[in-house]
Amino acid sequence: MPLTEFGPVQHLSADAVGQPGQRRFRLRAISQGGTYAFVWMEKEQLAAIGEAIETTLEHVQVDLDPFGPGEPEPVFPLEANLDLDVRAGRLSLGLNEETRRIVIVGAEAPTETEGEAVSLEFDFDTARRLRAQINEVVAAGRPPCQFCGAPVDPEGHVCPRSNGHNPEE
């Protein structure tokens, strides 16, 4: 599997495309050399990356800069003009002890011999901003049912705990 190593990224962010219930989730990255990449994943994968970042930051002794106004979001090209567009079937997160940076690897296929893979390396301040952004993106979905916790679509929800009825009915 060809691995594209971005090295330290210039920009890394998370977002979702589409309406709640139909959203697609991704990490967007720009390398120091100006290469663009999207790493597409499931909502649960994005949430797990956020939790892994939080765990890593808790275990690393580092002074983080206070949250400032942040940098403006860069303009990303249309998907057709991307340098790398990976649909992650497998994700991993680790800490490069030598550079003191967090590394995310997203691979298209579950085996190491198929598909493309990308490696994104970023500092702890970027990790903290990304974690906060992941929390916002994941929370912006469909609201949970007050009875069963399943997502409620705009058209309603068949709730097994309320005999298949919406609480509003």
How large is the average pLDDT for residues 60-80?
63
Q: In this model, does residue 66 exceed pLDDT 80?
A: no
More confident residue, 38 or 158: 38
The DSSP result for the chain, as a single string, is --EEEEEEEEEEEEEEESSTTS-EEEEEEEETT--EEEEEE-HHHHHHHHHHHHHHHHHS--PPPPP-S-PPPPPPPPGGG-SEEEE-SEEEEEEETTTTEEEEEEESSSSTTSS-EEEEEE-HHHHHHHHHHHHHHHHTSPPBPTTT-PBPBTTB---GGGTT--TT-
Lowest mean pLDDT among 66-70, 71-75, 129-133: 66-70
The whole-number pLDDT of residue 13 equals: 94
* pTM as predicted: 0.79
How large is the average pLDDT for residues 15-40?
91
CATH C-level class of 3-143: alpha beta
Distance set, CA 160 to CA 53, 144, 165 (Å): 35, 14, 8
Q: Does residue 39 contact residue 27 with C-beta atoms inside 8 Å?
A: yes
Q: Does residue 129 contact residue 135 with C-beta atoms inside 8 Å?
A: no
How large is the average pLDDT for residues 105-134?
88
How large is the average pLDDT for residues 11-19?
92
The whole-number pLDDT of residue 76 equals: 66
How large is the average pLDDT for residues 31-54?
93
The whole-number pLDDT of residue 80 equals: 46
In angstroms, rounded to a whole number, what is the distance separating the alpha carbons of residues 151 and 146? 10
In angstroms, rounded to a whole number, what is the distance separating the alpha carbons of residues 49 and 18? 21
Rg (CA), the chain: 18
The whole-number pLDDT of residue 72 equals: 61
How does residue 158 score in pLDDT terms, banded at 50, 70 and 90? confident
Enter the tokens of residue 169: 């009915």
In angstroms, rounded to a whole number, what is the distance separating the alpha carbons of residues 57 and 94? 11
More confident residue, 62 or 140: 140
How large is the average pLDDT for residues 50-75?
76
Q: In this model, does residue 101 exceed pLDDT 90?
A: yes
Q: In this model, does residue 103 exceed pLDDT 80?
A: yes
Looking at mean pLDDT, say which of 39-53, 60-74, 137-151 comes out highest: 39-53
